[in-house]
Structure 1
Amino acid sequence: MDIKEIRKNARDKMKGFCRVCPVCNGVACAGEVPGMGGSLTGAAFKNNVEDLAKVKLRLKTIHDAKEPDMRCRFFQEQIDFPVMVAPITGSQYNMGGALTEKEYVDSVIKGSISSGTMAMIGDAAVLSMYEDGIQSLKEANGKGISIIKPRENSHIIENIRKAEGVGAIAVGVDIDGAGLVTMALKGQPVGPKTVEELKELVNSTKLPFILKGIMTPEEAELAVEIGAKAIVVSNHGGRVLDSTESTAKALWKISKVVKGKITIFVDSGIRSGVDVFKMLALGADGVLVGRPVIIGAFGGYEEGVSKVLNDMKNQLYQAMILTGSKDLKSIDSTKISIEWK
C-alpha cells in the first residue's frame, strides 16, 4: 500500500469531513469544528503551517554524519525516532465515522508500535471513547500515553487510575482543550486549571505527568514549578482559539527558557520528517503528529499509520544526513535559518 492509495481511501471515507488536500494547511476547512478544520477563520491552523514553512534547513555535505542515530528515550521508553502520535479522538463527529473509535485507536496504537514509536490516546465528550483508548492500551501491554481533557479534577484522577491500571507509560492533561466546542455541545464541561489544581493532579500519580497546551514561556515555567515531567507546545491544532501564535514561534521562545529543565514536545502543522527536523532545531525534544496519522488510519488502518510514520522517519534520516547531524543532539538552531526571527 503506497501513500497515494492511502490518501485516496481516506478521501473516500472522510468525504464531507476532510478533503485530504494536497497541502494540509487549514484553508479549505477553515471554521469546520467539529470536523478537521481550525476555529472560526482558521488563522491559528494556517499560522502553524505557514510559520513552519518559513524555517529553512541549511544544506551541508562535507562531514561524517553518514548514519545518523535517531533513537531517543522518553519516560524510560526507547523509541526509534522522536515522533509520537498526538492524542486525537472523535472518529464519529470529527472524521466521518467510517472507522469506529476502537478501529481508529487500534490502528494508531498498533501502527505506531510497528514503526518503532508509540501513540497517545485521547479523551472526548463521548465517555466511551476514552474507554476504547484504555482498552487498546491494555491490548498493547500499556505501550502508550493517556491524555485527559481538563474536566473536574476528581474525574481526571479517575481516568488516571484507569491508565495506571493498564500500565500506561505516562499520563497528562491537554489544558488547551479548555474551550473545545465539541465538549460543550455534548454537555461535558472543561476549563482552565489553577496552579493548585495542577499540583493536585501531578501529585495524584507516580507516572510522569504531561501538560499539553503550553504556548507561553510563563506557563512553561509554571509547568516546571508544579512538577510536570513534560510539556507539549500546542494550540490544539488551531481548533480552540482563532488567531493564536503558531507553535513554531511559541516553541522558539519557550525552549530558550525551559530547555533542559523539562521535556519539550510540540505539535500542530507537522507534515513531514523535514518539519520534524525543524521543530527539533527550534528546541523540541520530540514532536507529536496528528492529521497525517488520521489520514493514514482512515486510508489503511494500522498499515496506513505505519506507512505515514515510516515515511516521516525516512525523511528525518535524510534531513539529518544532508545537514551534518550525527544524532538528535546535533540538531540545533545552527542547522536552520528563520525568516520570521
Structure 2
Amino acid sequence: MFSNKKSCIVVQTKNSRQYIPAFLAYHLRCVDKIFLIDHNSDKDYRGLATDRVSVFRSRMAIFASDVNINSVLSNFAEIRGFDWVFVLDIDEFLPFSSLSETREFMERHADKSVVSLHWRNGVPVGTVANLTDAAALSFQREPSGTSKMAYNTRLFRNFLITEGNHRPLNLNWGVLGKLRKRFPQDTSYSIFHVPFLSFRNLRDKIRICPPKDFAQKINMTARPLVEKYGQNWLDKEIDTADFTWLVANYRNGCNVIDVRSPNFSMEEVRLFRGLKQNMDVWEAQLDACPRGEVVPGTPAEADFVNRLRKKKKWGYVTTIRRCMRITDDNCIVLNT
C-alpha cells in the first residue's frame, strides 16, 4: 500500500486543440492536479478550469516558454505544496495509468531530488485528425537520448525550468550546493512522446512555430533526410523507413538510432484505451471555450525577456517576482 503523496503537472500550450482533450483525460487519472498555461491561444482555455485543472492565460505574445512557467512556479505557491512536480509539454504523456502507479513511482524515488525520464517517440497508427482519434500509437522500444526532469519538492524546492525542462537548474547551487550536487537520476521509466500526428502535421507545426525555436532544431535532426531529399525535404513525400527514422531520432542529438538495425523495433500501444468518453467531454468543453483575445507582441516584452535571460539565477527569480504577476482572473502579465 503506497502513501497518499500528491503529484501535479505543469504544462504550457498554444493552440493545441489536437492534443488537449487527450492530454487532460489521460493525466487526470494518474495525477492529482494539472496546471495549464495558455500561451495567448485563439481560444481562452480558462474555460477548461475545474477543481483539478487550474488554467493561467499568458498575456505575453513572445515565444518564451521558460518565462511563463517560471513565473507560475515562482508566484503560485500551491504548486510547491505537491510532493512531486512533472513539467511537461502538451505532446508528452507519463507512463502511469492510475494514481496508485504514480504514487508507487514517487515512493520508489522518494530519496531522489530530481529524476529523468527518457522519451519514447511515437506517432498514431493510421491517419488521424486529432490525438483523440488514435486507437493505437506506435512507439520506439529503445528510449531516446532526450529526457525530461521530474522534481521531488520535499528535497528540491528551489528549481527553475530551462531548455524545455531537459535539465534542472538548482537555485541553491553555490559553494554548498556544489558539495551536494543534485544531478538527475535516470529511472527505468519513459515518457510517451507524440511530437506530431503525421508528416503533414509536422509541416504545419514548423510553419506555426518560430523558426529559431523549432525548424532549426528539426533541420539539425534531419540532416540525413536533407542529404537524401534536398533542402526542401519537408515538401516531398518521404518513404516509411525515413519517416520512422525521423520519429525515432526526433531531437535526439548525437545519439542516432539506426531504424534498419535488427535490434530496432516499434511497439503498438493503446495509450488511450477506455478514455473515449472522457476525451469527448473535454473536447466538448474545449469547443465551448470563448474566443481568446490574442495580444500582439510588444518591444517592451521582448526587451524584458532579453534582460531577464541575462540575469543570474536569483536575479532571474527576483526579476520575475518583481516584474510579473498573476491577476485575480488567472492572467500572467507584466507589471506596468
Tell me which interval the TM-score lies in, with the shorter structure as reference length.
under 0.3
* Structure number with larger C-alpha Rg: 2
Q: TM-score, normalised by structure 1?
A: 0.26
**More helix as a share of residues:** 1
Task: State the TM-score, normalizing by the size of structure 2.
Answer: 0.26
